[in-house]
Amino acid sequence: MFVEPQLSPSPEVHASARRAPAPSPALRVGMIGTGTVGSGVWRVLRRNRDLINARAGRAIEIVAVAARNTARAATALDGAPGVRLLTDPLQLATDPDVDVVLELAGGTGAARDWVQAALAHGKHVVTANKALLATHGEALAQAAARYGRVLAYEAAVAGSVPVIKALREGLAANRITALAGVLNGTSNYILTRMQAAGLGFAAALTEAQALGYAEADPAFDVDGTDAAHKLALLAANAFGMPVRLDAVHVEGIRDLQRGDVAAAAQLGYAVKLLAVAEQQECEGRVAIQLRVHPALVPARHPLALLDGATNGLLVHSDAAGSAFFSGAGAGGEPTASAVLADLIDLARLPAVSSPAPTGPGVPTLGTHRRAGDAPAVLPMAPVKTPHLLRLLPGAALCEAAVLRALAREGVRVRRRVWAAAAAPGGAPELLLLTAPTPDALAAQASAHLQAYTGAQVRRLRVELYSAPTDEQ
């Protein structure tokens, strides 16, 4: 009978096994800002310290904090035991006793200087500042590459939801064809209340402000700016293109009416502030749609089911198919979750505290891009979507005349529904769902139809639809 030989390790192996590896030095973190996110990072790190350190393979310690008001910062950090409190963020960014800088203060001016200084002084940077990256992301990514440092920003998009990691790592082998997301919690809360409670925009906004979901000046959220920042970052990672905030078509929800939301619901849709990036062939080359605007989404679609301040992202790719991500898009501890995930990744890198360049494994914007490789951005005019045309007449409308007028413009109607008048004693509304139509043509046809009928024409785009087999 064959007997497998027993292999005994050499005495040297036994000796090395007995010798425990030397513990890695702690990752020394300097944090700029102690607001909602900064204090959230502090709490989660203290509460889950043992778990985080075990997963990181070394201790992660906040050793210095920069804030305008150090007394207030100390209070936010439960006395900040063992932490040096500074008033100058630039001093922290260049501190030789700091390995990683957390930029959690926000803004695009001074914050850029702090991040650049930190990278130049051999420090990795973690930030939740989507405005900074959408505005200066290209320059900062180049600086990170030049100095061999990591610029991490999972928390800048969708809060706790790991969408940046999904695009750069989990789906790295895929050709991304499209993504669509609900990326602003404030706007989504307002739209949720307009649909669920029948509120107008102003009333829903007031409620959101009272609950702390919206700022006193809500423009950044309700005008689509915040979502545009996030979309620019997502598109860069998905399509290997520069961060092109200037090329994003942006519309907000400020002008939405209660009747628009009700009309959408009657047709089986929910209205969402949607951020869309989609690849499209244009004149023999690949171009990318970049747009943020209110849109009708089928009521049973996962994005339509996102309530309140929840964020969600749908990604279409060639090998993995469709993937959907959702979760808390804002808040101190949800955002802290993403910040600390980046810190854990950095702690796992070899020689993270060495002054010599480390060479990050993942490019800052997801792709090692060569000059001339980036796809073009498609302007809004040729983008094709179905449209909801809501006709609010002062008098009775002739349906046949309306359809003939649209046909002359080259717009085909797939569905038409008469809805009760919004005001007592008014004429009923005519709701029309068109076939996919170039955006410029739909806008032109709506203007001509309004002039022809005397009815106010409200137009909303429709996304993520399934084309009907028969016209209704």
Query: Same domain for 207 and 185?
Result: yes
Structure confidence at residue 10 as a pLDDT band (50, 70, 90):
low
Rounded to whole angstroms, what are the CA distances from 361 to 49, 121, 268? 26, 20, 46
Claim to verify: residue 212 and residue 318 sit in the same structural domain: yes
Residues 139 and 250 in one domain: no
455 is a domain residue: yes
- Per-residue tokens: 236: 């860069």
DSSP 168: I
Which pLDDT band, with edges at 50, 70 and 90, does 388 fall under?
very high
Q: Which of 130, 165, 230, 272 is catalytic?
A: 230
Per-residue DSSP letter, 126 = E
User: How sure is the predictor about 19, in pLDDT bands with cuts at 50, 70 and 90?
Assistant: low
Residue 1's pLDDT is: 47
* Predicted local distance difference test score (pLDDT) of residue 18: 55
pLDDT at 223 exceeding the cut of 80: yes
The token pair at 240 is 């290997």
pLDDT digit string, tens, across residues 401-443: 999 999 999 999 999 999 987 677 778 899 999 999 999 999 9
Given the DSSP bridges, would you call strands 384-385 and 437-438 parallel, antiparallel or unpaired?
A: antiparallel
pLDDT at 353: 47
More confident residue, 298 or 308: 298
Are 228 and 292 in contact by the 8 Å Cβ rule? The answer is yes
CATH classification at residue 61: 3.40.50.720
Same domain as 344, residue 319: no
Specify whether 276 is located in the same domain as 229: yes
Compute the distance between CA of residue 177 and CA of residue 256 in angstroms, rounded to an integer.
30
Number of neighbouring beta carbons within 10 Å of residue 193: 22
Per-residue confidence at 376, pLDDT binned at 50, 70, 90? confident
Both 189 and 42 in one domain: the answer is no
Give me the chain's average pLDDT, please: 89
Residue 240 near residue 367, CB atoms below 8 Å: yes
For 347-373, the pLDDT digits (tens) are 998 765 444 444 456 778 777 766 556
**Any domain includes 273:** yes
Query: Which letter, b or e, does each residue of 235-245 get, where b requires 16 or more Cβ atoms within 10 Å of its Cβ?
Result: bbbbbbbbbbb
Domain interval for residue 114: 27-160+333-348
Distance CA(335)–CA(442), nearest Å, equals 39
Q: Dump pLDDT digits (tens) for 279-297.
A: 988 777 889 999 999 999 9
Q: Which of 311-320, 329-338, 352-361, 404-413 has the lowest mean pLDDT?
A: 352-361
Q: Which of 391, 384, 377 is nearest to 439 (CA)?
A: 384
Same domain, 187 and 315: yes
Q: Say what the pLDDT of residue 468 is.
A: 47
Looking at the structure, tell me whether residues 291 and 270 fall in a common domain: yes
Do 150 and 185 sit in the same domain of this protein?
no
Q: What is the mean pLDDT of residues 202-226?
A: 93
Please say whether the dihedral angle defined by the alpha carbons of residues 313, 314, 318 and 321, taken in this order, is positive or negative.
positive
Residues 342 and 390 reside in one and the same domain: no
- Considering the domain architecture, whether residues 234 and 283 belong to the same structural domain is answered as yes
CATH number at residue 448: 3.30.70.260
For residue 246, the Cα-to-chain-centroid distance in whole angstroms is 16
- The predicted pLDDT at position 14 comes to 53
The pLDDT of 174-189, averaged and rounded, is: 95
Half-sphere exposure of 341 toward its Cβ, with a 13 Å CA cutoff? 18
The predicted structure's pLDDT at residue 427: 81
Matching residue, tokens 């970052």: 233
Residues 146, 248, single domain; the answer is no
Q: How far apart, in whole angstroms, are the C-alpha atoms of residue 420 and residue 456?
A: 16
Q: What is the pLDDT of residue 472?
A: 39
The answer to whether residue 295 sits within a structural domain is yes
Q: In the predicted model, is pLDDT for residue 456 greater than 80?
A: yes
Q: What are the CA-CA distances from residue 112 to residues 136, 186, 231 (Å)?
A: 8, 26, 20
Each residue of 208-219: pLDDT tens digit? 999 888 889 999
Does 230 participate in catalysis according to the annotation?
yes
Answer whether residue 210 is part of any domain.
yes
pTM here is 0.90
Supply the pLDDT for residue 81.
Answer: 87
Q: Give me the pLDDT at residue 80, please.
A: 82
Domain count, the chain: 3
Report if residue 366 sits inside a domain. no
